Amino acid sequence: MPLTKSWVTAANDPDGPFPLDNLPYGVFSTDTLDPRPGVAIGDQILDMATAESTGLVQLTELPLFDAPYWNELMEEGPAVWAALRDRLTSLLKDGAPERAKVEPLLVPMAEAELHMPFMVCEYTDFYAGRHHATNVGTIFRGADNALPPNWLHIPIGYNGRASTVVVSGTDITRPLGQTKAPDAESPSFGPCRRLDIELELGAIVGTGNEMGEPITLDQADAMIFGYVLLNDWSARDIQAWEYQPLGPFQAKAFATSISPWIVTKAALEPFRVNAPERLKPLLPYLQDTGPMCYNIALEVEMAPPDGEAQTIARTNARELYYSSAQQLTHHALCGCEMNTGDLLGSGTISGPEKDQRGSLLELTWSGKEPLHLSDGTARSFIEDGDTLTLKGWAQGDGYKIGFGDCTGTILPAPTMPK
């Protein structure tokens, strides 16, 4: 479907990330405005708190946009989500009769600071990319034992830390921890030396289920409010020492970055695609009921201190073996209560080719094949001062559905208090 034209000129730029067909949700502030919900349109942000207080947008009797997060709208469910999207489209489309009322509520994006777009209730990280799982398994266990025996049957995941999910642009402090060299008799303590990224898609749960109540795949899909880019920063050397038998702990708890705009499921509907071919049949509760993955182009950029950013990987979200709806369905299967604001990380998204790998662990094959940057330096893993940026967009007919960058710069490890 072609671009829907807006009277906001920049929204009609075919290379811009925020056309009228997108309308992603974020939280912003300026020198004169406290943090409040906003909607990105072109190079502007529509102030939703003011739009609601003046009666321009009125969806429910109680206010939905008087707090600096989108959780209150998320709780209302798909009918209200759709009503808001319809109202925003009518206000911002080319020739809108209420343009004069809307124009004073637009804030230039260049003058705004972006904040966490929602309150994260709980965070679960999955391992749903087959190419990534195969690469990592090959590195650690050899090609014959790359995938665990359960991997082709269930979406594997672990419970992470909601407290350290941060918005793009937040600096990341290198973690401290225990590590153990293969030839050492005992572990040592110090800064992580094998710091890595994970290129992921994050699904945000809008409406939940009751404890003890499993859900179907179609119900799970309807519960998802939207998506963000997600970087689950990883301390590979800490992880290698701690993760058996219970899985990741401190190696994943120190930081997870997300992009600042929630791209709604409605905006991504035209970009649904089928999952990759199944290597083994899934049990009935996980079997696809239609296209559940998305055709979203993804990139990773690395910039050394005072150096230029360069793209080090390109892949696509369609490579995910398990969709977010399948991850959510499996998560709730045992009776686990899912809540508004729960965040599900997809796991690293990698493609079949070397330049499509979504982590440095894969790109450098555990440091054995370093990346060479344009400034003449090389990287096996991330060094202090490096900036990593995830980018993503769905390509439409003359427009893009963009997420906004997901960026973090690495600061040196702290000194332990005495």
Q: Among 329, 23, 48, which Cα is nearest to 205's?
A: 329
Other Cβ atoms closer than 10 A to 104: 10
Place of tokens 């979203």: 296
Residue 115's H or E segment, with its range, is strand 113-115
What is the b/e burial string over 211-231, where b = at least 16 CB atoms within 10 angstroms of the residue's CB?
eeeebebebbbebbbbbbbbb
- Which tokens belong to 179? 């590590």
Q: Among 254, 248, 256, 243, which Cα is nearest to 180's?
A: 243
Active-site pick, 132, 153, 331, 372: 132
Other Cβ atoms closer than 10 A to 330: 23
The one-letter code for the residue type at 124 is T
Euclidean distance between CA atoms 280 and 193, whole angstroms: 38
Place of tokens 């289920």: 209
- Which tokens belong to 105? 């509520």
Please check whether residue 262 is in contact with residue 268, taking contact to mean a CB–CB distance below 8 angstroms: no
Euclidean distance between CA atoms 155 and 141, whole angstroms: 20
Work out whether the CA dihedral 73, 78, 83, 88 comes out positive or negative. positive
Phi, psi at 364, each rounded to 5°? -105, 5
Please check whether residue 384 is in contact with residue 408, taking contact to mean a CB–CB distance below 8 angstroms: no
Instruction: For residue 131, indicate whether it is catalytic.
Output: no
- Which tokens belong to 127? 């391992």
Measured in whole angstroms, how far is the alpha carbon of residue 6 from the centre of its chain?
27
Measured in whole angstroms, how far is the alpha carbon of residue 89 from the centre of its chain?
25
Measured in whole angstroms, how far is the alpha carbon of residue 410 from the centre of its chain?
19
* β-strand partners of 227: 203, 263
Residues serving a catalytic function are 132
